[in-house]
Amino acid sequence: MSTRPAKTLETFANPSPQRDYWVRMEIPEFTCLCPLTGQPDFATLVIDFVPDRRNIELKSLKLYMWSYRNEGVFHEAVTNAILDDLVNAIKPRYMRLTAKWYVRGGIFTTVTAEHRKKGWKPAPSVTIDDSSQLSTRG
């Protein structure tokens, strides 16, 4: 596998496709360029997803993110483009991408985009409170 920026996302088979489980990936060093000024923009990206048949290989994800370093793109556009590419690569049951942009001109921006596979219904969530009581929420 290359160690240069690349738009290719490698995947691997989901080891537990029979079960809904949550994957979170945090990318604290995402960079691209402001399309108006050419100055760097910095963000922490948080990818939350429920895989279906495929998962994302991490080194290819790193190289993919690196490919944006010299691209001029608006926050909203790059957030949605990344989500589209990730969804096309693994076709998850659910995916949310949250881009937390660092301050620019005194303003912090957060962009969140989501995808839901048609027909997928999440199972009720389970919480365990401090008194060790198990409960479900639908």
- The single-letter code of the amino acid at 128 is I
Beta partners for 48?
24, 96
CB 97, CB 46: distance < 8 Å: yes
3-state secondary structure of 107: strand
Identified catalytic residue from 34, 48, 52, 85 = 34
Is residue 106 within 8 A of residue 112, CB to CB? The reply is no
Q: Is 32 a catalytic residue?
A: no
Task: Give dist(CA 77, CA 9) in Å, integer.
Answer: 19
Residues with catalytic function = 34, 41
